[in-house]
A and B are shown apart, each in its own frame.
Chain A
Amino acid sequence: MTTMTMAKALNAGLRRAMEADDRVVLFGEDIGRLGGVFRITDGLQKDFGEHRVMDAPLAESGIVGTAVGMAMRGYRPVLEIQFDGFVYPAFDQIVSQVAKMHRRTEGTVPMPIVIRIPYGGGIGAVEHHSESPEAYFAHTAGLRVLTPSDPQAAYLTIQQAIACQDPVVYFEPKRRYWDKGEVDEQVDALDLLQVADPWRARVVRTGSDVTVACYGPMVRTCLEAAEASTDASLEVIDLQSLSPLDLDTVIASVERTGRLVVVHEASGNAGLGAEVAARVAERCFFTLEAPVLRVTGYDVPYPPSRLEEHFLPDLDRVLDAVDRAMAF
């Protein structure tokens, strides 16, 4: 076990994936000599060469569109979109081509492309640098959506995403990049598919009164809430895979606790929380002791950074929802 940041764990995971398969190529803005604006690809161009870690022109649709062609040639492109709010120029290529090519070609052309996107707020950034656009992609058939919440998960799931034959939109919680955790670098991500299935939710803390489902940057927030909660015992579930959602793990928990709070930074309207709530309601109608509650960002554009603490769910807002669920 090594203690490292999530940023370093992602870097180590990328390195390992590139060593394992020489068809893996990294492509994105400023990822070469600079190592990316968050330094996630730091040192990789130096070690693997400019042909495997390629600085791209400043054009997101171009990055994703050319990756489709590279995948057709047999490569496994791993793309970096510099910030969440800059993915939209590529939205057409992602939705119309990346997501649909395998289906369009009746299974003959897989699209093993990973689109890495640092996302979420809490870093005091200017506009377009704090968004949580995951629901757009989770809503799109043909894509898979993953988001790690700690260094160990990041180390494993980035490798599993790269090995996957389907396109994966990989959301990295940028405000957790510098959080440290234990990472077992000896573990083989691919051998671990059975025990550490990336498409399964993870119970990261067991509890008995209220299930709290969350993902990405909110996992730490919810764990802190669980620690602080004196009146209720919280079971915290890291959804991790936003598409496909692993509802079985959530439902198994709700069947014990009878209460569910879903937490995410993204706006609530038509978000992941709504999907989780609807599907849990369908399957847990008779076990629920309270309505499923959501704690989310508000349905406003991401606010100026001086206001973001009011927008982002925090420990108090999670506990407030827990109280309301318990009081029902």
Chain B
Amino acid sequence: MKKPFKNIETIFNKSLNSIETFIQSHPKVNFLFGAVFEAADGLIRSTKDTAKNPPFIRSSMDVKQYMGGILAALFFGWVVPAIYFYGFMCVVPKLIVSFVVGVFIVDVIWVILAREERINEGGFVTCLFIPAFLPPQAPLWLIGVGAGVSILFRNILGGVGHNLVNPALFGRLMLTICFPTMVVSGWQEPFTGIPTIESLMYGVDAVTHATPLIVFKETGEVTSYLSLLFGAGTGSLGETCRIALIITGIWLCKKRIANWRIPVAYLGSVFIFSAIFSLTAGKTVAPPIFQLLSGGLIFGAFFMATDPITTTYSQTGKWIFGIGCGLITVVIRNFTPIPEGIMYAILLMNLLSVPIQSIILKMKYRV
């Protein structure tokens, strides 16, 4: 069993090597397809770089595994539950459109036109976020536009290592500005109206229902916590099954890919601030546990706020970042007409993380 596999592998390796030498010896081919080949090759084979400076051994963890961990967590955190709740045809076409437009069109064209960064796996993470925070009935073109805008924005900033704000959330902000009704309507109830191929073109004729947060804002009614936790409520495609998100989020924290300080600070501060506000301001403020379990808070806290480069570097700064996110979320949810504030909170704190970082450094090293 092992031997034929080994032979195939050697042939495969040799052919990849010959393609590589061919591309590198022809500058025009290299100009067009060099980056694409490098990206594909990077997914299959290790690099040939060796350590030139001490230390001469390195740990096996690299950014690819790091991003792969996030991808795996997102897959089991929202893709699998969403397929279960809304049907295969509701989720998979959206993912395909998101990946094709985001990674295979915008990213590839960008790399060919402005080839400085190589294509990297961060684009997959961004594209996996896009369908997750749009309603289940969002049309496919909306997903495509969102993915395109996000990846374009991400590439303009410079990709992983340069991002100022979370590119996926920036894409959603653009969608909210351009197509406000589409982003905040079409909340389909789970298990109803599983779409078929025909319905992809014309939309699903399914029952829609306002999200728990909108319901609370309009009538003051609190949805049952169990249905919120296990995903029977309405909401964006990826945010409803909170139990799966919590489990995968904790796995990410355990693997040290997501820093545990951010989710703890974020969720804790949402709980504390909403408790304080509901005690002082009365019934207009939703109860703390309802706030924790509704909207995209769990998804945002574990997956969006922990996006590595957009927070502060300092660990203390990460606490402040999380607490700031929590405060803004509670304020937007309860004292403004907008029902959900995760996106604004995280985007604003992403921008604020730059001054937070420099203040923390000054206090730590120069006082």
A and B: bona fide binding partners: no
Q: Which residues of A contact B (CB under 8 A)?
A: none
Q: Which residues of B contact A (CB under 8 A)?
A: none
